[in-house]
Structure 1
Amino acid sequence: MLLVSQLIVYPIKSLGGIGLQNARVTDRGLEHDRRWMLIDANNRFLSQREHAQLALFSIIILDTGLEVTCRSDGAALLIPFVPQTKQMIDVSIWDDTCPGQIVSNEANEWFSKKAGMDCRLVYMPDDVHRQTDSRYTDADGITSFSDAYPALLIGQASLDDLNSRLAEALPMNRFRPNIVFTGGDPYSEDIMNHISINGADMYGVKLCARCVLTTIDQDTATKGKEPLKTLSQYRRKGAKILFGQNLMMTAGGTISVGDELQVHTTHTEERFIVGPQITEA
């Protein structure tokens, strides 16, 4: 049996994640996931890839909004769920451009000071629909400020297999998944197509290509060579190193840690196959 073991959201893109016991499913991901984002002077998203210090911001969800703590000095900021400005600007995430709402001057000043660079905080209102890549999803698929898709699924067995190959085991937070499950074989998530959790339907659409963010220690913001060095030896397909499955979601319902993950169909296309694979979940 496959069981959900972790649910994680990252309310502000590329900052710390929050482990949850329950999460509401929306068509653009788990509720609150990557609905906020830091941008630079050119309105481009900021990421740990270039700014590892972003790992040092922790977040908790309160009834009134997000509480962000800068772990380097303990300073905290409350970000209300409703932005304090009406200013909308076009922001860019990779090759995409979509509207974002400036949250507040206070947030801009606080993050600029604590991150040590000029930045602003934007929010994605409900009426902003950022499309996913139509090569892999339906044309009406949407996502938040995530890199490309609403959610990421990884099996604990996959991380366990990777860690068996490493000199020092790494935690799951290096890979920033939204849903982690136990049971099954390593990399069984690769070929999952239609799955459901507590009646919420989800669809695997593309294996996740991994980048240098996975080499950043989320507790210290220091960089290393792993896990990419080891993953490249057995999880490379063409120029990409693959670990985890990107998901689309159908809005509705709540999922919880301990729920059963049911696999209804699996992929057979070559692009989902990386080395020897199981045929049943």
Structure 2
Amino acid sequence: MTLTLTGLHRYPVKSFRGEALQSALVEPWGLRGDRRWMVVDEDGMVVTARDVPRMLLVVPELVDGGLRLNHPDLDPIEVAVPDGSTLADVQVWSSSLQAAPAGAAADAWVSKVLGAPARLVYLDDPTRRAVNPRFGRSDDRVSFADGYPLLLASEDSLAALNELIAGGRHPQEGPLPMRRFRPSLVVRGAPAWDEDHWRRLRIGDAVFRVVKGCDRCIMTITDPDTAERGKEPLATLARHRRWDGSSWFAMNLIPDTPGGSISVGDSVEVLEREESDGPPR
């Protein structure tokens, strides 16, 4: 089995559009620059494209000293990285922590996108948020990603899923692109769904633990180009990839050797595997 890293993606702002990279530095909490920014409501609760699909139309760019945000209906805005002298309480699912407010101009801009009062915040100290202790170690950390530093998906599994969609109830919605699943890393060269059994990987010179499968939400049924919603892939995953009341696609990773660089084209080696009835969960 010859495995190759074929895609590398970063999402500067949680729930905004991602960007394809050729190489990236692996930090303890994810790829450098990945999901250090986030939108929250007036109470500090995370706001995502699960509830506001049009967030996927915002295109973020990391620039020297900050962030540039682009939207088809708004003038772009540049936001400087906050110095961290002021902090606000924020909530990401079950995680309560502090983040640095981006300022009134940024808040006004994201509020226009959402059509409701909102704030933009920056994770100035990425050591503040721990991963779920059930699947990680006490010193594992994560940015504003849903739960873990990186998400790996397989082209071979997506091809198998698209075949199932083509023969299912909503064939007109397929084939789906990998962008629907917002992975950090994309690999090719294994049998479909073989990643369910991977437990440790080497990509280039970096080593990762494969700690948990990814249970998918309504983000995946949202077209990232139009923000319109359909039925797939959740309808098909619910029939073929259903365990513990959830539908599963892709795997969550934690880096064991942060500080290394990985690149598209790097070889991928499965260092440890475990036979199981689906992904770890």
- What does residue 91 of structure 1 align with? 90
Structure 1 portions without partners, runs of 5+: 275-281
Q: Deviation at 1:83?
A: 1.1
| Per-residue CA distance 1:215-253 (angstroms, 9 max, x = gap) | 000000001111100111110012010101000113111
Aligned-partner residue type, residue 268 of structure 1: E
Alignment partner of 1:210 out of 181, 198, 216: 216
Conserved 8 A contact 1:86-1:102: no
Matched, 1:201 2:200: no
SS in 1 for 2:273: coil
Matched, 1:228 2:227: no
- What does residue 75 of structure 1 align with? 75
Aligned-partner residue type, residue 25 of structure 1: V
2-side partners of 1:128 and 1:182: how far apart? 32
| Per-residue CA distance 1:132-158 (angstroms, 9 max, x = gap) | 011111111110011111010001001
Q: Deviation at 1:15?
A: 0.7
1:24-103 superposed matches below 5 A = 24-71=25-72, 73=73, 75-80=75-80, 82-83=81-82, 86-103=85-102
Q: Deviation at 1:70?
A: 0.8
Q: Deviation at 1:128?
A: 3.9
Question: TM-score, structure 1 length as denominator?
Answer: 0.92
Matched, 1:240 2:241: no
- What does residue 178 of structure 2 align with? 172
Conserved 8 A contact 1:85-1:104: no
Aligned-partner residue type, residue 78 of structure 1: E
- What does residue 13 of structure 2 align with? 12
- What does residue 154 of structure 1 align with? 153
SS in 2 for 1:41: coil
2-side partners of 1:249 and 1:84: how far apart? 27
- What does residue 196 of structure 2 align with? 190
Matched, 1:264 2:265: no
SS in 2 for 1:190: helix
1-side partners of 2:23 and 2:158: how far apart? 23
Conserved 8 A contact 2:199-2:210: yes
SS in 2 for 1:142: coil
2-side partners of 1:273 and 1:175: how far apart? 18
Aligned residues between the structures: 272
SS in 1 for 2:112: helix
Aligned-partner residue type, residue 232 of structure 2: E
Conserved 8 A contact 1:198-1:260: yes
Query: How well do the aligned residues superpose, as a CA RMSD in angstroms?
Result: 1.6
1-side partners of 2:176 and 2:276: how far apart? 30
Aligned-partner residue type, residue 75 of structure 2: A
Q: 4+ residue stretches of structure 1 with deviation over 3 A? A: 268-271
Q: Deviation at 1:65?
A: 2.8
Aligned-partner residue type, residue 112 of structure 1: S
Q: Deviation at 1:76?
A: 1.0
Q: Deviation at 1:126?
A: 2.8
Matched, 1:141 2:140: yes
Conserved 8 A contact 1:153-1:244: yes
2-side partners of 1:267 and 1:91: how far apart? 37
2-side partners of 1:267 and 1:241: how far apart? 20
1-side partners of 2:225 and 2:47: how far apart? 19
- What does residue 168 of structure 2 align with? none
1-side partners of 2:260 and 2:83: how far apart? 30
Conserved 8 A contact 2:211-2:253: yes
- What does residue 110 of structure 2 align with? 111
Aligned-partner residue type, residue 44 of structure 1: M
Q: Deviation at 1:74?
A: 5.0
